[in-house]
Amino acid sequence: MNNLPAWLHALAQQAGQLPAARDAQPSMLQNFIRGAIASIVYSVIGIVMFAIAFVIINKVVPFSIRKEIEEDQNISLGIVIGSVFIGIAMILSAAIRG
């Protein structure tokens, strides 16, 4: 019934957004708030992971990614970078779903 991580559930309960364990059924507003909080947290985690991946890719390659894609019109490099981002998105999605 509870799909939130324990620390996030405890935080939401302290903020008064979730019912205590003794309450039988959470209201629609409480379900909405719980879902919104989870979505925001997971979105921030995903954006941070993408930023970290881009920084790592930038440090590993021996050339300027911006110059190759923008000035030299290197389409294949754009496809490779896009593929890396899609792969990271799939991994994050699987990790979030459990």
Give per-residue pLDDT as tens, 45-69.
889 988 998 899 889 989 888 888 8
CA dihedral 11, 94, 50, 56 (to 10 degrees): 120
Residue 21, pLDDT score: 55
| pTM, to two decimals | 0.59
- Taking only the tens place, the pLDDT of each residue in 25-42 is 778 888 899 889 988 998
Domain ranges of the chain: 6-97
pLDDT at 1: 44
Once rounded to an integer, what is the mean pLDDT over residues 90-97?
Answer: 85
Q: At what angle do helices 28-60 and 75-97 cross, to 10 degrees?
A: 140
pLDDT number for residue 83: 93
Q: What would the two tokens of residue 48 be? A: 């941070």
Nearest alpha carbon to residue 68 among 59, 76, 83: 76
